[in-house]
A and B are shown apart, each in its own frame.
Chain A
């Protein structure tokens, strides 16, 4: 039993920390926000460091690592609220490496690793947002599959080259396809997202060639969607872990230095214990996220572990960012002060693939029906 990072994992974490804190300063985040929302300079740095191919096969130029390492990198992104499509690109390209044809892998992965192509994830659906019940429909057609329907709130879709989309056939079987976002029949409508990240709604009325169907031609669509879903969830947990740490760092600096009644705010016990509770919850996100990622990396069944981590990332993450925002008083209401970004990201992550009730409901079903 050993909960420590290996030396190699520590190197990855340090490298990511160095890149994100070096590049994604508060000034830079503001600059990117006022532009098109994609920090391409940072993206190129991540490519140069090899981090865009962290979990991709060596034959395409990747580092062939696994979820624990991706968690460490996404955690650093969350800490700096850096505006890059690392979560979606990593999970989608890992899915292509896991389930896609050799041709598709060759066409996509090396260009992702070099930083030329980026991929969005369209897993959310309109309505109840049950990831396992896609709102896009798929009909087999000559030489491929015809996709019809829409996906809401797709992160970075206006900047990405591709999108990994889930769809459902009339017989309820599931399919995952990699769609070229520039293809005719794909409509990308940029929308404003609460966390101010580039986001678009995407409409599909397009035939995808069989070579771009990642999974679902051989009846493995449901399993593949579950795989992508679990990896996406743990990725969100990692981002939320970084958000939580970033938020409590800013918050604790504030309550230590802000003086009222001739003493620091933190000398008020009501403030100090509320601050301390956010640390406790952050540690819960950390240990459960690392555990889920480790189990996935080792190939163990991690369904319950992922839901436990996601419970903390949603319920816990939500309460952390609210407390950190609250403890800033009026200062936090001014958007020239940086803490609000952590609040907005925290809320968005808590909503992205379902809220705490959805994860608890699934976990409850698993543990009670044993």
Chain B
């Protein structure tokens, strides 16, 4: 097969088909693509509505096998669809965790019962899912989770606290990492559960961020009962399952369809008469160069994905490069915004969109493993640097220093 950096004739035909369908079912993207930040309730309603339209028309789960209710297409087709969808006012964020992280995990590790019970309703948008992984003392060191699950008959009883739960206030189900065996080393005593967010004992407290909205939540679990049938993978074997979820998360953050584009930034500069300024131009060119690079890193990742299951360091490179690109672009956007960049809400006008993305950059820099975690992994897997000596790998979790 020869190198081909771009759509093959079949892919171009698929893109045409997608574009034609999208233009009949969605409006072209408006300038204020970030406006949903202001009204999360309306965004969530719009996401559910759009997911239903996708499902009814056979566009939900494009790369998912047909027996799970998907379209049975390729990952490449899914990427093409997402690229085109980003050009329309199509709201999808509410299902990022469900479709990008939970679905692939359940397809790989779930029981047949879990798959048939949960996957179809995920695709049709009936159920929203959230991720209950991070804790106040388990961030970068995720394997340090302390939320305890203790066996009780056919159930486990769970107590603990989770944090940074995206869209948790809208979720019907969650994927939950718990400590089930404190006497084992930290990676070996974790169990991965599916939890019904309407279970008694779950309290979701939204965390208001600098953008003024509460994308994230704290989730408190007090004597929450979860049936054993909801364990994903093996009892105490949750770390391997979690890694499938995290790989998917890195993939969709790094290859994500952004709420902004460099073309929009060039338009923003033009509207302000700054497109002729040579210094601004140079900075726009840098943004463009980085955006192009991400496109080709993404193409290469897709090629790798179509060939073998586990990508090498490419995915970590991409996630890191994407986070840096986001951050640097917003710095330049604020320079272009001028005085309006200091204002918030309606007063900021066109600048609001960029300001939201500037303030929201930390979700990208930190989610799915911080930039520094990516750098460490790239050092190990890209350059073969020895793993950092770890003092806690083989010790019982119970004996490790807490917080």
Chain A interface (Cβ within 8 Å of chain B)? 1-6, 9, 68, 248, 252, 255-256, 263-264, 266-267, 269, 272-273, 275-277, 279-280, 283-284, 287-288, 290-291, 294-295, 304-305, 307-308, 311-312, 357, 360-361, 363-365, 367-370
Contact = CB atoms under 8 A, between A and B. Distances in A.
Contacts of A68: 3
A264 B386 contact: yes
Interface of B: 1-8, 11, 76, 266, 269-270, 275-276, 278, 281-282, 284-286, 288-289, 292-293, 296-297, 299-300, 302-303, 307, 313-314, 317, 320-321, 372, 375-376, 378-379, 382-386, 388-389
B231 to A, nearest CB: 36
A363 B285 contact: yes
Q: Which 4 A-B residue pairings sit nearest by Cβ, starting from the closest?
A: A364-B281, A287-B296, A364-B285, A363-B285
Which of A252, A280, A360 neighbours the largest number of chain B CB atoms within 10 Å of its CB? A280
A255 B296 contact: no
Contact of A6 (B3, B275, B303): B3
B301 to A, nearest CB: 9
B321 A284 contact: yes
Given A256-B384, A367-B285, A368-B284, A267 B275 contact: no
Contact of B292 (A4, A248, A252, A308): A308
Contacts of B372: 269, 273
Contacts of B384: 252, 256
A275 B385 contact: yes
Contacts of A288: 289, 292-293, 296
B375 A277 contact: yes
Contacts of A311: 285-286, 289
Which of A3, A264, A365 neighbours the largest number of chain B CB atoms within 10 Å of its CB? A3
Contacts of A6: 1-3
* Interface of chain A, main secondary structure: helix
B296 A3 contact: yes
B33 to A, nearest CB: 20
B385 A280 contact: no
Contacts of A2: 1-5, 8, 303
B385 A4 contact: no
Given A283-B297, A364-B282, A367-B285, A269 B313 contact: no
B285 A272 contact: no
B3 A312 contact: no
Contacts of B5: 1-3, 290-291, 294-295
Contact of A308 (B269, B270, B275, B293): B293
A272 B375 CA distance: 8
Contact of A266 (B276, B288, B297, B385): B385
Contacts of B278: 361, 364
A145 B104 CA distance: 68
Contacts of A308: 288-289, 292-293
B321 A280 contact: yes
A6 B313 CA distance: 22
Contact of B288 (A1, A255, A275, A367): A367
B378 A276 contact: yes
Which of A263, A276, A307, A312 neighbours the largest number of chain B CB atoms within 10 Å of its CB? A276
Nearest to B302: A1
A269 B266 CA distance: 37
Contacts of A295: 5
Contacts of A3: 3, 5, 296, 299-300, 302-303
A6 B284 CA distance: 34
Which of A275, A308, A369 neighbours the largest number of chain B CB atoms within 10 Å of its CB? A308
Contact of A4 (B1, B11, B293): B1
Nearest to B299: A3
Given A9-B3, A275-B379, A4 B307 contact: yes
B376 A273 contact: yes
Which of B11, B282, B372 neighbours the largest number of chain A CB atoms within 10 Å of its CB? B282
B383 to A, nearest CB: 4
B375 A273 contact: yes
Contacts of B300: 3, 287
B303 A1 contact: yes
Contacts of B269: 368
A141 B205 CA distance: 85
A308 B313 CA distance: 22
11 contacts: A3-B299, A3-B300, A6-B3, A9-B3, A269-B376, A273-B379, A279-B378, A305-B292, A361-B282, A363-B288, A367-B266
Contacts of B270: 368
Which of A269, A272, A288 neighbours the largest number of chain B CB atoms within 10 Å of its CB? A272
Given A3-B296, A276-B385, A280-B317, 11 more contacts: A1-B8, A2-B2, A266-B386, A272-B375, A283-B317, A295-B5, A305-B292, A311-B285, A311-B286, A360-B281, A364-B285
Contacts of A365: 281
B141 to A, nearest CB: 15
A210 to B, nearest CB: 40
A367 B376 contact: no
Nearest to B275: A368
A361 B296 contact: no
Nearest to B288: A367
Contacts of B302: 1, 3
A279 B382 CA distance: 7
Contact of A280 (B11, B76, B285, B320): B320
Nearest to B270: A368
Contacts of A275: 379, 383, 385
A256 B285 contact: no
Contacts of B1: 2, 4, 6
Given A277-B375, A283-B314, A311-B285, A368 B276 contact: yes
Contact of A279 (B6, B7, B299, B313): B313
A277 B372 CA distance: 10
Contacts of B289: 288, 307-308, 311-312, 360, 363
Nearest to A363: B285
B292 A294 contact: no
Contact of A361 (B2, B276, B281, B376): B281
Contacts of B7: 1
B383 A279 contact: yes
A364 B274 CA distance: 12
